[in-house]
Amino acid sequence: MGTSLLIAAAVFVFAVGTAVNGCTPSDRAALIAFKAALHEPYLGIFKSWTGNDCCNKWYGVSCDPITKRVADINLRGESEDPIFQKAHRTGYMNGSISPAICKLNRLSSVIIADWKGISGIIPPCISSLPFLRILDLIGNQISGQIPFDIGKLSRLTVLNVADNRITGRMPRSIADLSSLMHLDLRNNLISGTIPQNFGKLRMLSRALLSGNRIYGPIPYTISYIYRLSDLDLSLNRISGPVPESLGKMAVLATLNLDGNKISGKLPATLMNSSISILNLSRNAIEGNIPDVFGPRSYFMMMDLSYNNLRGAIPKSIASASYIGHLDLSHNHLCGAIPAGSWFDHLEATSFVNNDCLCGKPLKSC
């Protein structure tokens, strides 16, 4: 082998070795640009972001062991990491999320959570990260809208932007997130209606949308999400009736619809279902409480307070297998409170401010 070939082979081996042993220069440059848009004054978490190898002991950064491409950014402002315990405080960071993060095109997870002061928008280019599985930006001051083409993230399993200042509507493309299991949009300023095609999210197990400005009806298509176990639409401006199909969902265990403008009658299906936490308080639900309780009725909590329910408390409620916390206060109920073993622990506050209820724990009939 000639000298020139030996030199070429040596350069090739050196280049391959460099690529495998350290992070790529482009990934390092993207991280440096990402860091430049943020200011973390108390903990010094970015002090470790030095040297050429961003895969080696850069706080919150991890890489694919084979390709050495940056795979995860995990920066949590509330953690039991020694860096927090040593400082005796939770984290605070301001600034914004730089679009440079989108140059890290092998990212699997982006967790930039609970820093309290990070503002600006979600970079729209985040939708172009084809391997992204987790996007968790909870607990900041992020504003603007959810990227309109978020649905391109076909591998995304977790979308959490709770406790921010997100505005605008839920993009229709959110229903294209075919792998999504956990959706948390709580406590933002999101308005508009729930997309009618929301039921396409067949892998979804938790949909937490409380504390926004969402209005309009509950789409009946939600009942198509057969894995859904937790649905929280509380503290919005949702109107119309509760779809009776929600009570027929196989694994729905928690249904929180309190603090809306929901009207119509109480679906009988909800009283005899898999739901164990049911909160429909502070709405405009009317009519009677359906007399359909039975052994399948198991409620850790059932709150129907502050509605327009009338008539008697159904006698079948005594045949429920369990009711832990019950609140029927501030309605127009009348008649004797049924006797039942699990009624013994209930206090008068569960029944006050009705038209003419009587019996234990209220005054005798």
- Asked if pLDDT for residue 56 goes beyond 50, the answer is yes
Strand ordering across the sheet containing 322-327: 61-63, 70-76, 109-113, 134-136, 158-160, 182-184, 206-208, 230-232, 254-256, 277-279, 298-303, 322-327
- Asked if pLDDT for residue 13 goes beyond 80, the answer is no
Give pLDDT tens digits for 83-127.
888 888 889 999 999 999 999 999 999 999 999 999 999 999 999
Which carries the bigger pLDDT value, residue 338 or residue 6?
338
Distance in angstroms between the alpha carbons of the first and the last residue of the chain: 107
Rounded mean pLDDT of 40-54?
94
- Asked if pLDDT for residue 16 goes beyond 80, the answer is no
- Asked if pLDDT for residue 358 goes beyond 70, the answer is yes
% residues pLDDT > 90 (the chain): 87
pLDDT at site 346: 87
Helix (H) or strand (E) holding 34: helix 25-36
pLDDT at site 3: 42
Average pLDDT value for the chain: 93
% residues pLDDT > 70 (the chain): 94
- Asked if pLDDT for residue 17 goes beyond 70, the answer is no
Residue by residue, DSSP assigns 69-117 as -EEEEEEESS--SHHHHHHTS---EEEE--GGGGG-TT--EEEEES-EE
Which of 3-17, 112-126, 249-263, 338-352 has the lowest average pLDDT? 3-17
pLDDT at site 2: 45
pLDDT at site 82: 84
- Asked if pLDDT for residue 318 goes beyond 70, the answer is yes
Rounded mean pLDDT of 255-259?
98
pLDDT at site 340: 75
Give pLDDT tens digits for 194-229.
999 999 999 999 999 999 999 999 999 999 999 999
pLDDT at site 80: 81
∠ CA 79-82-83, nearest 5°, is 80
pLDDT-derived band at 18, boundaries 50, 70, 90:
very low
Query: Which two structure tokens, joined as six digits, stand for 324?
Result: 């832990």
- Asked if pLDDT for residue 21 goes beyond 90, the answer is no
pLDDT at site 83: 84
CA separation for the pair 184, 163 (Å, rounded): 9
Rounded mean pLDDT of 346-359?
94
